[in-house]
Structure 1
């Protein structure tokens, strides 16, 4: 390319600047800064010009575009309930007064159950008792304003507990406030409240969130109008426990002067059909992301490309997938030990059955105009979605149905026989339990059983949207190290297919695990047919994409690499330990000091489901005596040995390592973790001569110091 030289006549520049510079330097402040030549004058001018530009940016030039944010808004948020969040006060006491509410129903939900219960309770309070109730997501309000709620109002808490006694993600603000109330001795004398806890007694800290909140509020002077009650998912009784609690609550309300009445169905949202959209692109932006909040714990949702997949089981009729997801150019980051949440979609077969049962197959591409009919309603489906997209991406159509829903469905029955059947099952708890004990009853299957020939054309879509859960993500422990693989996340997923002993020989397919199996393109080892799913494709050279977000975890390696580790896992509970050991091996190869590691791993058989066996053998070669592996096989030979049995055999070593400063980690089913806890505590009591209370104090101390951690599920 030809270049051009443009000579600069410094004398002309100097002449042009002289008037401006004479005025400037006439100020005594600039006496020492007078330029001695043309170059100094130009430099001084350019410096002043730059300073002027910097100080006036955003006011005189480069003003921000007030409509700039519109480029990044989700269309469904513009008209939906979520768009009103910014205008609503975060002071719940003010909100109660402004909206003329008598009751506030707070919910803390991890999987959506507590949220659904709160919405149901709010609707029934209004319809049956005339009580105006505010259904409140705890993350929408500043928790410290709960103390400002007056005596004329009533607060109801529906709180879930998951993991090791942890609050749900949206209840972290409440949890922090409860701690402050307890530590600072804050008083909440005006608060009247009622509380229900949702938990699973398989976990060691069953309903801990409820217990801590209730104890703290009572100590702070709040008055409980009913004893706290607990719903237990371990017995499959969550729905029935909620119904029994609600009956007691309504009895209390009637005693307070409210008159209960029987009313017909009154929707809280309006759902109307709009225009038909033949080429609706539901996969261009994951619809569920409209209901997901980026928080300090959860990242935003991103589409991640599947880079590789492989089968981990070597025999048998089950699948266990190792899948690697490419973070690409996304802002997504993770740390070793974090969780990844996979957002699935519903399978084609379930969607088709629902459309056929409703008699709406020809309207699958019609859009839905959805609006809230009161301030507390939050539609689960964004307005503008097609009916098919709502069933595929937004609603848990594969979930079992509740007895309450069965009873309420009866009023929309297409035949007298269907109405009689549903009324009888819905009114009788024993009959309902017998009806559902040997079969997996989803909404579509129930409708088909009750009326196999006549479609449910009288069933309002608003009832469908209100009574089905929002589609929720499923969480997996990340099995890769962020140190070794910062831009790829590995998942270790067991594909779940539970056989139901009924006359149809039906199977309950794990939704997300089968979704991942389908996306992996690996063959199924199961004897049943894998459901078919719609997937989001990448470019011509890329694989499918899955939508995911990362949730921060406290299940972390110690800062000091020389700290010894005790790792206890069964099955896919080994996932985070694969990352832990690989990271330690990398540090060891670099010459860094690493602590001793004792790994307990349990599975069925070394010949079928000993996952990552070859990797572990290579890691052991690298680490030498730094890694010791103790295995337990529950289906090998005549003896069934479980991982807790091996821990009992090695409990002396475990105690010695803990006393020497080791960190203990447990990952797997909650029942296994509880057994392991018991074995270690039993040995500690014998070895140290401790009482039951002293042993509990010892283990609690380790956990508070972060030396004993668990990542478990039901």
Structure 2
């Protein structure tokens, strides 16, 4: 009978394994590994080999890439936010003293617009008026320290509102302090401030964050130097509204005695070209480096393979995609009701157009060395990226160009005609609005229109990098249940294409939706040619990959499955309800008690865009009288257009009955629809409950505070 001996000596193994093996040797485990047969010996050997593999993972093999996180972090945060920004304290008053600043510009931004405005304003305060202003992410400082600001300083607040009157993620600390201060009554008599809000009037709580902050500061004794103003993105006027407010701000500066100077362009970042040889080796890293910070709300970004794609529309010239992404073995997890953030890239055509108009087509593969020239500058592109990667993966080159940028471009125009055209539309708001109403003006298209023959070789690349927005994720409600499909995320995306009323009948293609359509490899139903995108293949090379992260949401099912549900959706707003209903149907099939569900769903026509109709019919069979479906069709061939809010009004008695019985109500879709639904329900409550306006508002606000009335809306 052969005996089995351990194949290596302890002193020949890595030191990290010595404690484990000594424990095994001193115990009864290792001596017991003396099998009575060759198969037993092999089994024992394989057991020990597996144990060694498990213990050495991450030490001897499958070591983590220490630089992996750099792919997904903001360039300005590399090495820590404090070290980049020079922050030595979380007390903003102390920071102003340390840096000899005269003002602080706080920004609270969800999509990056308020942040960009703050950076621009900070530069202009210094170059035009000599005002040294600290541009500050609100989350970098303790909100309580705002009360320590001295009267010789002043504070500027640029605050965005999103969702149902919610502050941006980075403004949570300020929001909490404002709410706490109602009870603590901290006085801020020495605070002089100015405020500008970014919002969308389609939402019920338009610019609520600005209003709450301003009211709280005024109540605490602060002095507003000029009345607060509000941008309205519903009218596409955010840039113009900001420019108008800034004109008033600069007029105030002149009144306060600051001398206005006419200054030439001064870059805040240095941009130099390097060799293309190094980029050939490293470009795969730079093309997925994005501006994203992992937080408690947002996961890291991962490349997720596309496993299933199918078209949901059955007729017409539009596409609606159902796509499923494989989470694999990475660390991304989601819960039913969460959002997925898709990170698109820019289309090939727009990248090529911009390279050509800049006269830089032959330098597309050259690397860029980007260095901030002052503490407030935040490069939007990581140094070492190629020019092509910067334009494709880091900058919003498909976005419209503001009037101010058009005016500032004039100084670099290659021809007198181009300079005259840009100066004209840049100085006259009416002329600019007429021009842009019939033409989609991206930076490349504006440059080409103003100078069809001459490239813009005199335009500094630093100007391009400073004035274009950072590429941002687009969010979609997850349409799968984490209970049923924990390692696969489904999303539902309407492909957006908007025709422009110009002589060429051109089309504005939705960036993210067309990117997903391209990744799905489904044919386009659009009449116009669709843009082409560069996609990364999965390891197998058989399917495409999209980069995405998960964002936590409060749009959740109640813990108790017997709680009744009122679900109200139009179009792709049905996406999270697909997950809700599938999860409830699973619980019902397992014999769990399931509450009554009333679903309102609206779309154009039952023949063309009634998405997931087959699934809904099967759910109806499974759930029986537990599920009632009420539909609304706005273009079903008759003369009457019926919308979701109309059906809600017709069934308002049932809705109120369910709410009174403890139901949770969820609304998902466009903000305008949600506002109309709110109005119909509150109108019904006024009539049926005999309440006045303030009583109805208190009733609806109470339901919302308790999480019984939730909305997930957009645009």
Regarding TM over 0.5, the answer is yes
Q: CA deviation at 1:224?
A: 1.5
In the alignment, structure 1 residue 495 sits paired with structure 2 residue 491: no
In the alignment, structure 1 residue 671 sits paired with structure 2 residue 667: no
CA distance in 1, matches of 2:700, 2:67: 52
Name the structure 1 match of 2:682. 681
CA distance in 2, matches of 1:500, 1:484: 43
Unaligned runs of 5+ in 2: 7-25, 29-58
Residues 73, 289 of structure 2: 8 Å contact kept: no
Q: CA deviation at 1:73?
A: 5.5
Name the structure 2 match of 1:279. 280
The ranges of structure 1 where at least 4 consecutive aligned residues each deviate by more than 6 angstroms after the TM superposition are 75-79
CA distance in 1, matches of 2:623, 2:318: 32
Name the structure 1 match of 2:566. 566
SS at match of 1:609: coil
Closer/same/farther in 2, CA of residues 80 and 114 from structure 1, 3 Å limit: closer
What is the TM-score of this pair, normalised by structure 1? 0.89
Closer/same/farther in 2, CA of residues 420 and 43 from structure 1, 3 Å limit: closer
Q: CA deviation at 1:148?
A: 2.5
Q: CA deviation at 1:537?
A: 0.5
What do you get for the CA RMSD once the two structures are aligned? 2.2
Name the structure 1 match of 2:81. 85
CA distance in 1, matches of 2:330, 2:462: 36
Q: CA deviation at 1:572?
A: 0.1
Name the structure 2 match of 1:74. 70
Question: How many residue pairs were aligned?
Answer: 659
Residues 517-532 of structure 1: pairs in structure 2 closer than 5 A: 517-532=517-532
SS at match of 1:265: coil
Kindly provide the CA deviation profile for residues 132-153 of structure 1, in whole angstroms up to 9, marking residues without a partner as x.
1111122322323222222222
Name the structure 2 match of 1:38. none
More deviation in 641-650 or 274-283?
Answer: 274-283
Name the structure 2 match of 1:709. 710
SS at match of 1:350: helix
Closer/same/farther in 2, CA of residues 127 and 323 from structure 1, 3 Å limit: same
SS at match of 1:275: coil
Residues 363, 387 of structure 1: 8 Å contact kept: yes
Kindly provide the CA deviation profile for residues 634-668 of structure 1, in whole angstroms up to 9, marking residues without a partner as x.
00122111111100110111111111111111000
Name the structure 2 match of 1:648. 649
Name the structure 2 match of 1:15. none
Residues 566, 663 of structure 2: 8 Å contact kept: yes
SS at match of 1:74: helix
Residues 271, 461 of structure 1: 8 Å contact kept: yes
SS at match of 2:435: helix
Residues 358, 457 of structure 2: 8 Å contact kept: yes
In the alignment, structure 1 residue 700 sits paired with structure 2 residue 696: no
Closer/same/farther in 2, CA of residues 594 and 251 from structure 1, 3 Å limit: same
Residues 81, 378 of structure 1: 8 Å contact kept: no
Kindly provide the CA deviation profile for residues 39-73 of structure 1, in whole angstroms up to 9, marking residues without a partner as x.
xxx889xxxxxxxxxxxxxxxxxx9xxxx995555
Closer/same/farther in 2, CA of residues 682 and 78 from structure 1, 3 Å limit: closer
SS at match of 1:116: helix
CA distance in 2, matches of 1:620, 1:711: 24
Name the structure 2 match of 1:306. 306
More deviation in 401-410 or 81-90?
Answer: 81-90
Residues 356-505 of structure 1: pairs in structure 2 closer than 5 A: 356-505=356-505
Residues 260-339 of structure 1: pairs in structure 2 closer than 5 A: 260-277=260-277, 279=280, 281-284=282-285, 287-289=288-290, 291-339=291-339
Q: CA deviation at 1:567?
A: 0.3
CA distance in 2, matches of 1:707, 1:226: 39
Name the structure 2 match of 1:112. 112
Q: CA deviation at 1:222?
A: 2.0
Q: CA deviation at 1:123?
A: 0.9
Q: CA deviation at 1:172?
A: 1.7
SS at match of 1:158: strand
What is the TM-score of this pair, normalised by structure 2? 0.89
Residues 283, 536 of structure 1: 8 Å contact kept: no
Q: CA deviation at 1:223?
A: 1.8
Name the structure 1 match of 2:45. none
Q: CA deviation at 1:293?
A: 1.1
CA distance in 2, matches of 1:669, 1:661: 26
CA distance in 2, matches of 1:232, 1:77: 31
Residues 74, 292 of structure 2: 8 Å contact kept: no
Residues 505-584 of structure 1: pairs in structure 2 closer than 5 A: 505-540=505-540, 542-584=542-584
Residues 80, 371 of structure 1: 8 Å contact kept: no
- The structure with the largest alpha-carbon Rg is 1
Closer/same/farther in 2, CA of residues 508 and 691 from structure 1, 3 Å limit: same
